[in-house]
Structure 1
């Protein structure tokens, strides 16, 4: 994985250097000479700060603690998109951002969906219903190494009303930041775009992307080794926001509700999940920092399971188990290891 990213970054640097004399930015730089980068959600903000370093000014449109899927933009925020050098976003995640970028900043858009392979919803959801097949908790037959491809696994995983929600995300799951390797790929693509807009600092963007790629590889290593041997592989979550994590590390995500954390699961869905908890002997129901825990706590009470908290890493608040993307991801790893009985 890393050799491919390095080659891409080197090639981008050569190309930018050759074209530097005729290359300009798509819009005016910030008043302090920095490139302006606009993001819609925290993980991309973190990535832009890491890759851009001192040469960029990053504005995130979603306030900490706000539900990013339901973001509504103010006129000043739309002007920010219009004036940005780079609009860094994930199509299908935030409809208001998609619409504003299409109208005001499409020519300066950098869509993560063009940088990484997003998973189809049916593959990312990886949800099980109460009749799904058994899964060996320790001998799973999957490769947990770095070259784990996000291909169709060929299983016919059960789906139900918990896999859908009221938001139109398109055909692909946009929650790619739950996979550190996809974040590293996005860092490479962002560095290339920043280098095109600001050739004088192309080498810095390349070096920053390589550095953050190393950090993300380390997180991936920790997840791969930390989740290799677990008593259970059933990841029962408040909503289906952890499909990429489950897919990469061969867990079975069971979302009580769909991709919208505010959606209410039906009584039939709640009963179905409760049966699954008993059938699979699931011991932990994971709630989330930005979603109501009521339904998850009800299922836990009815089945004798305990609850634990996972952070979807959609924003950093005082309630977050860390101060940035790496620390929250590592806190999530620790919570999953405890909840699934990993050794």
Structure 2
């Protein structure tokens, strides 16, 4: 997002907040306040899933990014800004994933608590030099760090929810924050959190056993969205473009990946759902491999919602595709 767009976006946000503040109901109008569920606005599908699992019927959880859209390219309109401003909690992914969040969080009303979830998980350093054409298809060595106040935009890979251990940390944080918000419901939040974490631990066990013995352990994708999935399961991660889904790879980079795929006799090239798959399709044609979608769980489609897909079910579908691609026993 360039400087002019950021300034325009900031101006719009300030205007919206001013209108909200002007028309906000006074304390005398809040007779039924105790009956209203607190609103929690979240920015990604993984956060939505965890918040719903922990909050149950006590929290009104709302997704900011529309279904079926590329979360990387999203920018909230005034209606969305107004909705976030009415929330008790605004929980965003952080680690540079939402380019719009930094402006927004500086002008939200004091009644909206802001939580950067990336500060509660284990982050991996982003390897920006993997954009260099000569090294692009090399396996990216990553480094785990606990998030702290010193991390800055672009320094870390923001797709941390694909590490199931991080999804557990997210759920624990939701439990803590919801319990502060509604202390009287803390016991229920703890119970919900424990139940969901048990499901996540079961999912992790399925990944450990499912990817334990495989003929091939290299994950090739069009977009570097699967670093945490690869790292947590001891897979090699090769991507054509970097962390930004709108990046355009050079012909030399594509040719290099084609060479790697042929050299290793790989039969599957993955592409991220909801993102243009032209690059993966090109590599597939050049190598005879199949182009297969893999769900990064940044967002889901209307069809996935209608078929009641969840973080758990989509991660299991990803596991099935990985096992087939890597010829696992």
TM-score between both structures, scaled by the size of structure 2: 0.80
Matches within 5 A, 1:1-343: 32-91=35-94, 92-104=96-108, 108-122=113-127, 129=135, 132=138, 151=144, 169-318=153-302, 320=304, 323-343=309-329
TM-aligned CA deviation for residue 319 of structure 1? 5.2
Q: How many residues align?
A: 285
1-structure distance, mates of 2:235, 2:105: 35
Q: Residues 35, 285 of structure 1: CA spacing in aligned structure 2 closer, same or farther, 3 A cutoff? A: same
2-structure distance, mates of 1:71, 1:307: 26
TM-aligned CA deviation for residue 73 of structure 1? 1.1
1-structure distance, mates of 2:308, 2:323: 17
1-structure distance, mates of 2:314, 2:253: 29
Q: Which runs of 5+ in 1 are unaligned?
A: 1-27, 134-149, 153-167
Question: Given that residues 38 and 86 in structure 1 are in contact (C-alpha distance below 8 angstroms), is that contact kept between their aligned partners in structure 2?
Answer: yes
TM-aligned CA deviation for residue 104 of structure 1? 0.7
1-structure distance, mates of 2:85, 2:313: 33
TM-aligned CA deviation for residue 102 of structure 1? 2.9
Question: Given that residues 281 and 291 in structure 2 are in contact (C-alpha distance below 8 angstroms), is that contact kept between their aligned partners in structure 1?
Answer: yes
Q: Secondary structure at the match of 1:118?
A: strand
Per-residue CA deviation, residues 251-306 of structure 1 (Å, 9 max, x unaligned), is 11111111122222110110110111112222210122211222111111111212
TM-aligned CA deviation for residue 131 of structure 1? 7.9
Q: Residues 54, 281 of structure 1: CA spacing in aligned structure 2 closer, same or farther, 3 A cutoff? A: same
2-structure distance, mates of 1:314, 1:99: 21
Indicate the residue corresponding to 2:15 in structure 1. none
Greater fraction of residues in strand: 2
Indicate the residue corresponding to 1:143 in structure 2. none
Q: Which has the higher mean CA deviation after the structures are superposed, 302-311 or 229-238?
A: 302-311
2-structure distance, mates of 1:277, 1:81: 45
TM-score between both structures, scaled by the size of structure 1: 0.77
Q: Residues 328, 58 of structure 1: CA spacing in aligned structure 2 closer, same or farther, 3 A cutoff? A: same
Question: Given that residues 218 and 326 in structure 2 are in contact (C-alpha distance below 8 angstroms), is that contact kept between their aligned partners in structure 1?
Answer: yes
